[in-house]
Amino acid sequence: MPTAGGVNIYRVEAIHSPTGSKMDLTDLHDFAIQARMAFIVGVETFDRVFAGIRFAEIDGSLLYVYARDEPTAAEIEDNYALHIAIVASQIVGREIDVVVVLPKVLQ
């Protein structure tokens, strides 16, 4: 696995809850997922679609994401959920099967 100065550059170690089912993502997790998604979709799409996004928490195999509004949440869920699930699984080291994208007003 590639490293930079001995540090794994592809995975951020996750801190899990004692029950192992629910986990609040840290800012580092959030920013790492955002960076990887920006690389995948490109800067113009990222700035248009992912501006203001928050990758918030994992509950079981569900990842909860907050987008700026309802139309953006629907677009992300419809078009990018699979990419997000793969990226988030790699970064947090847990299997993500479902990505639930909600508007921030419901946060």
7-11: average pLDDT: 48
Range of the domain at 64: 20-106
Q: Which residues contact 13 (CB under 8 A, 6 or more apart)?
A: 93
44-66: average pLDDT: 96
Residue 35 domain flag: yes
Domain count, the chain: 1
Model pLDDT, residue 18: 45
User: How many angstroms separate the CA atoms of 102 and 6, rounded?
Assistant: 37
Task: Report pLDDT digits (tens) over 69-105.
Answer: 999 999 999 999 999 999 999 999 999 999 999 999 8
Q: Is the pLDDT of residue 64 over 80?
A: yes
The dihedral region occupied by 6, where left means phi > 0, alpha psi between -120 and 50, and beta the remainder, is: left
User: Tokens at residue 9, please?
Assistant: 């550059």
Residue 89 domain flag: yes
Residue 53 domain flag: yes
Model pLDDT, residue 67: 96
Average pLDDT, the chain: 86
Residue 11 domain flag: no
